[in-house]
Amino acid sequence: MCRHVAYLGPPVALGEVLVLPPHGLVRQSWAPRRQRYGTVNADGFGVGWYADGDPVPGRYRRSGPVWGDRTFSDLARVVRSTALLAAVRDATEASDDGEAAAAPFADGTVLFSHNGAVAGWPGSLEPLAAALPPAALLALTARCDSALVWALVRHRLSDGDALPQAVADTVLDVASAAPGSRLNLLLTDGTRIVATAWGDTLCYLTGPGPRTVVASEPYDDDPRWRAVPDRTLLTATRDDVLLTPLKEPSP
| pLDDT average, residue stretch 84-98 | 82
The mean pLDDT of the chain is: 95
- Domains in the chain: boundaries: 2-245
Q: Nearest-CA neighbor of 86 among 63, 112, 65, 64?
A: 112
Nearest one of 193, 244, 231, 161 to 5, comparing CA atoms: 193
| pLDDT band of 251, cuts 50, 70, 90 | low
At 72 the three-state DSSP class reads helix
3-state secondary structure of 119: coil
Instruction: Write the pLDDT tens digit of every residue in 37-77.
Output: 888 999 999 999 999 999 999 999 999 999 999 999 999 99
* Residue 248 pLDDT exceeds 90: no
pLDDT value of position 3: 97
Q: What is the pLDDT of residues 13-29, one digit of tens each?
A: 999 999 999 999 999 99
Q: Domain 2-245 is of which CATH architecture?
A: 4-Layer Sandwich (3.60)
Q: How confident is the model at residue 95 (pLDDT cuts 50, 70, 90)?
A: low
CA dihedral 187, 193, 197, 202 (to 10 degrees): 110
Q: What is the pLDDT, as a whole number, of residue 91?
A: 85
pLDDT per residue as tens digits for the range 212-221: 999 999 999 9
Q: Which of 1, 2, 47, 166 is catalytic?
A: 2
Task: Read off the DSSP letter of residue 178.
Answer: S
pLDDT in tens, 101-130: 999 999 999 999 999 999 999 999 999 999
How confident is the model at residue 162, as a pLDDT? Answer: 98
What number is the average pLDDT over the span 180-204? 98
Q: What is the pTM of this model?
A: 0.96
Percent with pLDDT over 70 in the chain: 97
Is there a catalytic annotation at residue 144?
A: no
Do residues 101 and 92 lie in contact, with contact meaning Cβ atoms separated by under 8 Å? no
pLDDT at 24: 98
At 98, the pLDDT band (50, 70, 90 cuts) reads confident
Portion of the chain with pLDDT greater than 90, in percent:
91
